[in-house]
């Protein structure tokens, strides 16, 4: 029951964007994209090759600029992450954000620990705290015993685990994961998803993936993106129910893409 003493609190979205577009030459990679992602939500962005997933993550990470608002958009562009303005508070956003890129950015000729030290350099910490933090991250993903091994000898699953903890060194509150399970077999994908779900207690996660069944099983909500446009957004089961006779998200994606 609601009364003045117990007002319903509607949480502010952790990430909110409106009318974000991006054009590369003649390619409209994103076309007036709007999304709202809640705090501690595991949100999946699903779409085929070239749909615009990485472009959106790079804009949200402030790595590339979105197009300025123009007449082709549905309204003026807006964006905030945990209350920080995407277009005016780049530095603050970078402080609260962890980003695992689609292609691993690790150094093969360095050990796992030296990679972590490298990626933690921009963040001030005293030497002992830094080592403790990095060792606890290695422990958390079962890599502690490999900390002195060169990364070029790591398998795909180990590389992904290391890439993920490299993005966690500064205790981000928002984590972007771009195709982190690509090329992994089913048990390894499950392992990475379990790691992602465990981290959800600490913050908000936006993940992109081609593996639609994985997203259906693991994400709280998803958005389907195709040719730069969001086709639908919601809980997987709600979306499926909107597209009879589809019985899973993969079938929904096919129905949407075939118009
Ligand atoms: N730097 C760039 N210069 C020119 N075109 C680009 C650039 N980056 C992306 N594109 C184009 O923008 C569109 C969206 O690309 P994007 O990489 O965001 O897709 P994606 O959904 O991440 O695809 P994938 O699943 O293959 O990773 C594609 O047509 C791509 O060729
Ligand atoms: Mg991509």
pLDDT in tens, 198-256: 999 999 999 999 899 999 999 999 999 999 999 999 999 999 999 999 999 999 999 98
pLDDT in tens, 134-168: 999 999 999 999 999 999 999 988 999 999 999 99
169 contacts: CB under 8 Å, gap ≥ 6: 116, 119, 120, 123, 133, 134, 137
* Token pair recorded at residue 28: 């409209």
Q: How many CB atoms lie within 10 A of CB 75?
A: 10
Nearest residue (by CA) to ligand 1, atom 9, is 55
Number of domains the chain is built from:
1
Ligand 1 center to 52 CA (angstroms)? 6
Ligand 2 center to 30 CA (angstroms)? 13
Nearest residue (by CA) to ligand 1, atom 27, is 49
Residue 101 near ligand 1, beta carbon < 6 Å: no
Nearest residue (by CA) to ligand 1, atom 26, is 49
Nearest residue (by CA) to ligand 1, atom 5, is 24
Nearest residue (by CA) to ligand 1, atom 18, is 52
Within 13 A of 173's CA, how many CA atoms are on the CB side?
13
pLDDT of residue 4: 63
Ligand nearest to the CA of 49: 1
Give this prediction's pTM: 0.93
Nearest-atom number in ligand 1 for the CA of 64 is 1
Residue 47 near ligand 1, beta carbon < 6 Å: yes
Ligand 1 center to 229 CA (angstroms)? 13
Radius of gyration of the chain (CA): 19
Q: How many residues are recorded in the chain? A: 259
Nearest to 159 by CA among 239, 241, 203, 102: 102
Query: 227, exposed or middle or buried, with CB in 10 Å at 0-12, 13-18, 19+?
Result: middle
Q: Is residue 37 part of a domain?
A: yes
Q: Is residue 48 part of a domain?
A: yes
pLDDT at 12 over 90: no
Ligand 1 center to 230 CA (angstroms)? 15
pLDDT in tens, 81-98: 999 999 999 999 999 999
175 contacts: CB under 8 Å, gap ≥ 6: 97, 98, 99, 100, 167, 168, 199, 203, 204, 205, 206
Domain of 118, in residue numbers: 15-257
Nearest-atom number in ligand 1 for the CA of 48 is 25
Q: Is residue 7 part of a domain?
A: no
Q: Is residue 188 part of a domain?
A: yes
pLDDT in tens, 25-83: 999 999 999 999 999 999 999 999 999 999 999 999 999 999 998 877 788 999 999 99
Residue 50 near ligand 1, beta carbon < 6 Å: yes
pLDDT in tens, 170-186: 999 999 999 999 888 88
Q: Is residue 157 part of a domain?
A: yes
Q: Is residue 161 part of a domain?
A: yes
Nearest-atom number in ligand 1 for the CA of 56 is 18
pLDDT at 2 over 70: no
Q: Is residue 86 part of a domain?
A: yes
d(CA 109, CA 125): 25
pLDDT in tens, 88-131: 999 999 999 999 998 888 999 999 999 999 999 988 888 899 99
Q: Is residue 230 part of a domain?
A: yes
Residue with tokens 């954000």: 97
Nearest to 108 by CA among 154, 66, 167, 152: 152
Surrounding ion ligand 2 within 5 Å at CB are 53-54, 102
Nearest to 163 by CA among 145, 186, 182, 185: 182
* Token pair recorded at residue 70: 């123009």
CATH of the domain at 129: 3.40.50.300
């Amino acid at each position: 029951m609601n009364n003045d003493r117990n007002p319903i609190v509607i949480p502010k979205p952790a990430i909110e964007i409106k009318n974000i577009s991006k054009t590369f030459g003649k390619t409209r990679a994103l076309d007036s994209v709007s999304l709202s992602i809640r705090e501690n939500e595991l949100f999946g962005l699903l779409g085929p090759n070239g749909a615009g997933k990485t472009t959106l993550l790079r804009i949200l990470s402030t790595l590339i600029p979105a197009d300025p608002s123009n007449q082709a958009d549905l309204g003026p562009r807006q964006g905030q992450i945990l209350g920080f303005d995407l277009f005016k508070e780049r530095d603050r956003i970078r402080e609260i954000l962890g980003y695992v890129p689609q292609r691993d950015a690790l150094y093969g000729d360095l050990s796992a620990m030296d990679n972590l030290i490298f990626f933690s350099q921009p963040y001030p910490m005293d030497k002992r705290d830094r080592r403790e933090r990095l060792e606890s991250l290695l422990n958390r993903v079962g890599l502690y015993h490999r900390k002195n091994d060169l990364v070029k000898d790591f398998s795909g699953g180990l590389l992904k685990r290391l890439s993920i903890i490299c993005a966690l060194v500064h205790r981000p509150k928002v984590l972007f994961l771009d195709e982190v399970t690509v090329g992994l077999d089913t048990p390894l994908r499950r392992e990475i998803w379990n790691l992602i779900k465990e981290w959800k207690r600490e913050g908000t996660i936006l993940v992109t993936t081609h593996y639609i069944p994985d997203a259906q099983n693991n994400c709280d909500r998803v958005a389907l993106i195709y040719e730069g446009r969001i086709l639908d957004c919601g809980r997987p089961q709600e979306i499926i129910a909107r597209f009879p006779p589809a019985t899973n998200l993969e079938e929904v994606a096919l129905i949407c893409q075939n118009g």
